[in-house]
Amino acid sequence: MSLEEAIDDATHFINFEKGLSALSRNPRTGMEQRGNRKWLVLAAFAGTALVSQMLWLNFATIAITIQNRYTVDESTANLLTLVFPLLYLVFSIPSGILIDRKGYRVSVLWGSFMQAAASCIRIYDESFYALLAGQVGIAVAQPFIVNGISKLAADWFDEDEGAAANGIGTVGMFAGMALALGLTPVFVEHWGLRTAMIIFSLVSVAAAAIYALIDRKSISASKESTSSISFGPVLKDKRLQLLFFLAFLGLGFFNGLTAWLEQILAPRGISAIDAGIIGSALIVGGIVGAAIVPNFSDKFKKRKPFLLSCVIAAVCLTYPLGMGSRFSILVTLAAALGFFFLPAFALLLEMCSEVAGEKHTGAATGILMLTGNAGGVVVMLAMDAIRFGSPSYDNAVYLLVVLLAIALFASVFLPETYGAKPIEDK
C-alpha cells in the first residue's frame, strides 16, 4: 500500500469516527443512541420523581399521629410537609443552572442519591427533629430531580413526542402523591412508624440505584457546557413570562385545592376519610389524563388548544366540586377535574422547553417551577385569609374560580409554541 493510499484510508476512518461521534451527540438524529432506551430512561426518571413526591407527602395523612407521638403542635407537625414548597423556592433556580451547565443526568443523580441518604435519616424515629432533618434533605434534593424532566424530554425525544414524555414524567409525580396518601397511614398503623420509614428508604435507595444503572451516559454534549448561564433572555421573553404567570396560577390553584379540600367539604357533611377519597380521585384522574391528553397534543402538533381545553374544563368543574355535598358526584367531579386539568402541567413544561430552547431549558424550567411553587404558597395562605375568621371556605372556592378565569384569559394571548423559534434562535 502506498503512503497516499494509507493516508486516504486513515482520513476516511477518522471522518467515519467523527460522524459516529456527532451522531451519538445529537439527540435529534442519533436514533441508534436513543431507540427504545429513551423509554427506559424516562421510566427510570418517572420512578425517581414518584419517590420524591411520595417522600414529600409521607406525613400529610398522619399529622395527628405525629402530634401525639412527639407532643408537638399542629404547625410544628405540618413543617414535615411545608418545608418542601418553601425550599423549592430556594433551590429551583440553582437546580436549573446545574441542569443547563452539566445536564439533567448530573442533577437527577445528585438529587436522587441525596434523597436516598436523607430518607435513611428518618429511620431514627426517636426524635421529631430527625424526621424534620430527613425531610429537609429530601426537600433540597427534590428540585434537582423534578426540574430535570423538560431537559430529559428535549434531549431524548423529538418535538412530536415531547408533551407525551413530559406527561409520563408527571404521571410519576402524581402516582407518588397518591401512593403516599394511600400507603403511609396503612404502613404506620400495621407496622409502626420506624418500619414504614425503613420501607420508604429502601424504595428510595432502589430508585436511585436503578436510575444510575439505566441512565449511564448523557447523549447531548451541548448540555454539559461550563459556560455561564444568562437569565436575561429567559426573563425578557414575553412567551415565557406568560407561561411563568400561568404556572403561578395553575400550581397555586392545585396546591390550594388539595391543601384545603377537607376543610372546604367538611361543612357539607363530607368526612375526612371521604375527603381523602375525593382527593385521591383527583390525583388518579390526573394520572390518566397526563398519560392521554399530551399524546393528542403531540399527534395534532398543537399545544395551545389543549391547554385552553384544560383550563376551560377546570373553570366548569371547580365550583360544583367546592359546593357539592353528594359523595358519589364529588368523586366523579374530582376525577374529571384531575383528568382535564392536571395534564396542563405537562403541557406547560413542554411549551416552556420549546420556547426556551436547549441552551436555556434548565433555567426556564427552574423559574417555571419556582413561580409555580410560589403560587402554591401564596394561594394557600390567601385561601385561609379570605375567610376572615369564618369557618366557611366558600370565599376560598370563589378565589379558585377567579384564578382559573384569569388563567383562561391569559392563555388566550399565549402563542402556539409547537415549532416556534426558541429564544436563542430569534
Residue showing cell 366548569:
316
110: nearest Cα among 120, 119, 99, 101: 99
State whether the Cα torsion 46-49-53-55 is positive or negative.
Answer: positive
Asked whether residue 18 is domain-assigned, the answer is no
pLDDT at 35: 62
Write down the H helix ranges in 192-271.
Answer: 193-214, 232-236, 238-265
Asked whether residue 204 is domain-assigned, the answer is yes
What residues make up the domain containing 183?
37-216
Residue showing cell 441518604:
117
Q: Which of 18-32, 175-189, 196-210, 270-284 has the lowest mean pLDDT?
A: 18-32
Cα of 7 vs its chain's centroid, Å: 54
Asked whether residue 425 is domain-assigned, the answer is yes
Asked whether residue 10 is domain-assigned, the answer is no
Nine-digit cell string for 9? 484510508
**How far apart are alpha carbons 189 and 197 in whole angstroms?**
13
Angstrom CA distances, 337 to 126, 173, 290, 332, stand at: 41, 17, 12, 9
For the cut 50, the answer to whether the pLDDT of residue 226 exceeds it is no
Asked whether residue 23 is domain-assigned, the answer is no
What is the overall mean pLDDT for the chain? Answer: 85
Domain boundary pick from 166, 182, 216: 216
Nine-digit cell string for 211? 436510575
pLDDT at 249: 96
Asked whether residue 399 is domain-assigned, the answer is yes
**How far apart are alpha carbons 82 and 63 in whole angstroms?**
12
More confident residue, 276 or 424: 276
Secondary element (H or E) of residue 10: helix 3-25
**How far apart are alpha carbons 51 and 56 in whole angstroms?**
8
Got the DSSP string for 130-175?
HHHHHHHHHHHHHHHHHTTHHHHHHHHS-GGGHHHHHHHHHHHHHH
More confident residue, 254 or 225: 254
Q: What is the CATH number of the domain that holds 357?
A: 1.20.1250.20
Residues 195 and 245 in one domain: no
pLDDT at 407: 96
User: For residue 100, which amino acid is it?
Assistant: D
Asked whether residue 166 is domain-assigned, the answer is yes
Q: What's the rounded mean pLDDT across residues 122-144?
A: 95
Most distant pair of Cα atoms in the chain: their distance: 94
CB 36, CB 99: distance < 8 Å: no
Domain boundary pick from 216, 250, 272: 216
Nine-digit cell string for 424? 436563542
Q: What's the rounded mean pLDDT across residues 75-100?
A: 87
Q: What is the DSSP letter of 426?
A: -
For the cut 60, the answer to whether the pLDDT of residue 37 exceeds it is yes
pLDDT at 223: 42
pLDDT at 28: 44
∠ CA 257-88-360 to the nearest 5 degrees? Answer: 110
More confident residue, 1 or 382: 382
Angstrom CA distances, 389 to 12, 45, 73, 385, 421, stand at: 79, 43, 20, 8, 50
For the cut 90, the answer to whether the pLDDT of residue 424 exceeds it is no
Residues 205 and 265 in one domain: no
User: How many CB atoms neighbour CB 129 within 10 A?
Assistant: 11
More confident residue, 187 or 29: 187
User: How many CB atoms neighbour CB 119 within 10 A?
Assistant: 28
Secondary element (H or E) of residue 374: helix 343-385
Q: Which of 60-64, 151-155, 263-267, 373-377 has the lowest mean pLDDT?
A: 60-64
Residue showing cell 408533551:
163
Residues 286 and 255 in one domain: yes
Residues 325 and 413 in one domain: yes
pLDDT at 218: 54
For the cut 60, the answer to whether the pLDDT of residue 181 exceeds it is yes
Residues 86 and 205 in one domain: yes
Residues 397 and 289 in one domain: yes
Residues 281 and 246 in one domain: yes
pLDDT band at 25 (very low <50, low <70, confident <90, very high): very low
Residues 286 and 138 in one domain: no
Q: What's the rounded mean pLDDT across residues 251-256?
A: 89
Q: What's the rounded mean pLDDT across residues 99-103?
A: 86
Residues 335 and 278 in one domain: yes
61: nearest Cα among 227, 193, 166: 193
Residues 175 and 136 in one domain: yes
Residues 204 and 316 in one domain: no
Domain boundary pick from 216, 244, 277: 216
For the cut 90, the answer to whether the pLDDT of residue 387 exceeds it is no
User: What does pTM read for this prediction?
Assistant: 0.76
Asked whether residue 223 is domain-assigned, the answer is no
Q: What's the rounded mean pLDDT across residues 112-130?
A: 95
Q: Which of 104-118, 185-199, 322-336, 374-388 has the lowest mean pLDDT?
A: 374-388
**How far apart are alpha carbons 304 and 54 in whole angstroms?**
31
Q: Is 362 left (phi over 0), alpha (psi -120 to 50) or beta?
A: alpha
Residues 191 and 261 in one domain: no
The number of distinct structural domains making up the chain is 2
